[in-house]
């Protein structure tokens, strides 16, 4: 069973009232209405030594930065403003204050830069040398811009991504910059119909937009911005489609809004048009030679832990 099916199953078990929870299970963050018009958004991510990083190769500081950054990236995906984070760590026996200070440095590196206060947490210690775990929950606010959901893509929308994709596993996954500023600029300046952050690979995350918006998509292989890291790999296109952990923004908007974006984009990060939302009901890719093939949602599935389709060029 894949992660998205399980997420859908969880969402089915209890129907949340849309008045109290305008956005429930299944988007990058949930939105919780408090009193009146005010609402708060919340997300959480847990990172494990040996799965999301390898402490024999990276520092605790880098691991903690990544844990903050993946949560910040969820705030970016909704075009919200991060406010506060709480951090849980499980420490292998023998870890002490020195290790906690390193973890704290990594947290502050992200929290200072993105103005997201560390407000609490929980420190636990394993009985023995079980691996380090860090889990963060983050809340954000709308600040004048409605949260951008995965479910708003419309047939005819232009599909765009920020930055360059693939090969994040070569090191970028530890030091990426969450696209908070870019997402805010996008949502404040243009009508963005849907958005997600690329955590599990373009093919996987575009599929989430398609599924939740009940649309299809056609992307062009030639248009996909392949990172320098992905170009070092055996199959750069498959890498850009499926590697995951790019933490760039994937978003859709109308042709009109895209024209405005072409003129109005003033951020240093590149934005690339990679395709269009269709009514085909499926994801397709136009290969370099011009033929159109179905695009299989590949990418990293935390529950199946395989990269489906990698054997056939990721497609």
Provide the binding-site residues for a copy of itself, judged by CB under 8 A: 1, 3, 6, 9-10, 13-14, 16, 20-21, 24-25, 29-30, 32, 34-36, 38, 40, 42-48, 50-52, 83-84, 86-90, 96-97, 100, 104, 108, 111-112, 117-127, 130-131, 133, 135, 137, 139, 141, 302-303, 305
Smallest separation (angstroms) from a copy of itself to the CB of 50: 5
Q: Give 51-55 contacts, CB < 8 A, sequence gap 24+.
A: 53/174, 55/131, 55/132
| Helical segments of 153-227, H only | 180-189, 202-213
For a copy of itself, give the closer residue by CB, 32 or 269: 32
For a copy of itself, give the closer residue by CB, 9 or 175: 9
Q: Dihedrals φ, ψ of 183, to 5°?
A: -65, -40
If we measure between CA atoms, which residue out of 104, 234, 257, 220 comes closest to residue 170?
A: 234
> 221 to each of 94, 179, 193, 203, 218, how far by Cα in Å?
49, 24, 23, 12, 10
Residue 151: both structure tokens together:
């479910």
Smallest separation (angstroms) from a copy of itself to the CB of 38: 4
Q: Are 267 and 185 in contact (CB under 8 A)?
A: yes
Smallest separation (angstroms) from a copy of itself to the CB of 24: 6
For a copy of itself, give the closer residue by CB, 35 or 288: 35
Smallest separation (angstroms) from a copy of itself to the CB of 302: 5
Smallest separation (angstroms) from a copy of itself to the CB of 224: 27
d(CA 143, CA 283): 34
For a copy of itself, give the closer residue by CB, 57 or 234: 57
For a copy of itself, give the closer residue by CB, 178 or 236: 178
């Amino acid at each position: 069973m894949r992660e998205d099916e399980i997420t859908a199953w969880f969402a089915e078990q209890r129907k949340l009232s849309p008045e109290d929870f305008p956005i429930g299970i299944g988007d990058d963050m949930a939105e919780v209405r408090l009193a009146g018009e005010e609402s708060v958004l919340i997300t959480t991510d847990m990172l494990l030594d040996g799965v999301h990083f390898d402490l024999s190769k990276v520092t605790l500081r880098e691991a903690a930065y990544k844990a903050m950054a993946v949560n910040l990236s969820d705030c970016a995906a909704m075009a919200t403003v991060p406010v506060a984070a709480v951090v849980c760590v499980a420490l292998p026996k023998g870890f002490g204050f020195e290790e906690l200070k390193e973890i704290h440095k990594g947290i502050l590196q992200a929290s200072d830069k993105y103005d997201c206060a560390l407000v609490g947490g929980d420190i636990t210690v394993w009985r023995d040398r079980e691996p380090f775990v860090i889990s963060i929950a983050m809340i954000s606010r709308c600040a004048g811009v409605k949260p951008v959901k995965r479910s708003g893509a419309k047939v005819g929308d232009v599909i765009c991504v920020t930055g360059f994709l693939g090969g994040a596993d070569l090191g970028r996954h530890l030091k990426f910059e969450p696209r908070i500023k870019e997402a805010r600029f996008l949502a404040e300046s243009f009508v963005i119909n849907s958005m997600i952050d690329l955590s599990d690979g373009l093919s996987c995350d575009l599929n989430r937009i398609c599924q939740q918006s009940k649309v299809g998509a056609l992307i062009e292989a030639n248009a996909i911005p392949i990172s320098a890291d992905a170009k070092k790999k055996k199959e750069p296109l498959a890498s850009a489609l499926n590697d995951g952990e790019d933490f760039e923004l994937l978003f859709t908007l109308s042709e009109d809004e895209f024209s405005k974006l072409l003129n109005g984009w003033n951020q240093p990060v590149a934005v690339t048009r990679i395709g269009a939302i269709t009514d085909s009901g499926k994801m397709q890719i136009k290969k370099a030679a011009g033929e159109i093939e179905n695009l299989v949602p590949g990418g990293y599935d935390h529950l199946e832990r395989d990269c489906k389709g990698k054997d056939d060029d990721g497609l």
